[in-house]
Amino acid sequence: MNALHDLPAVGLDELNAAAALLTRVDRKYVVPVADLDAVLTGIPGLRALEVEGRRWSRYESTYLDTVALDSWTGAAHARRRRWKVRTRTYADTGECWLEVKTRGRRGATVKERLPHDGTDVAGAASDWVSERLAAAHVFHVEPRGLVPTLHTAYARSTLLLPAGAGRATVDRDLRWVSGHGTAEVADVLVVETKSASMAPGPLDRRLRELGHRPVRISKYGTGLALLTPGLPGNRWHRVTSRHLADHLTLDAGVLA
């Protein structure tokens, strides 16, 4: 992944000013690690986020769902009013946020976030989650009743695309932990492009030139389906059986 470190750097403030994109169109790809240099060297003007000399940052997320897994079920069946609630911790700094993701117009992803102390959703945080879900026409979800169902950890590099085309993330060393065990993926990357337009951007076009197509992969949906006995793979079966199977390590009943 030498090409990533050779890209010109961009700071966090400049990246957010140019492409915060809390409402965006997402496309996801599963890419072999060996292909990343070819992907990045084919896009003039691409820059990589650098924070205190780091091009990779460690992320940890804990997903919260109802006991009946209503959030997971909505994603598994592609329901229009699907939603996710999670805490996200930037492990290098300890900064933590509570995040709500819903679907906007034309299927765009809407992400809203609130500084959080990493504990249960209660008090003002509960009210905030209720308001955010109601604004997306998601009702009958009681935030105080949400429980942790899946923990994810990975390293992420963020890219600023040229000419105002948005941003992208590259995730590696993905690990899932649930009450049923652990799963890890090696030697593959999850690349996600995020733009304000429905039209493919320069990174999407470059990936297509190299034979990569968008895939259905959700860290929450895929991870919970992999680790939960009896839970169907549904729309993630193809990515787990075709793109991840040769790189996947599953340890049922082994917790971190």
Yes or no: say if 202 and 31 are a contact pair by the CB < 8 Å rule.
no
Q: What is the pTM of this model?
A: 0.92
**Dihedral, CA atoms, 208, 211, 214, 218, nearest 10 degrees?**
-130
Look up tokens 């500084």; give the residue.
115
DSSP alpha helices (H): ranges in the chain?
A: 2-6, 12-19, 36-40, 70-76, 123-135, 202-209, 219-227, 237-238
Domains in the chain, CATH or no CATH each: 2-252 (2.40.320.10)
116: left (phi > 0), else alpha (psi -120 to 50), else beta?
Answer: beta
pLDDT (tens digit per residue) in 141-175: 999 999 999 999 999 999 999 988 999 999 999 99
pLDDT above 60 for 105: yes
Range in 91-100, 173-182, 244-253 with the lowest mean pLDDT: 244-253
More confident residue, 39 or 123: 39
pLDDT above 60 for 255: no
pLDDT above 90 for 78: no
Tokens of 123: 């008090």
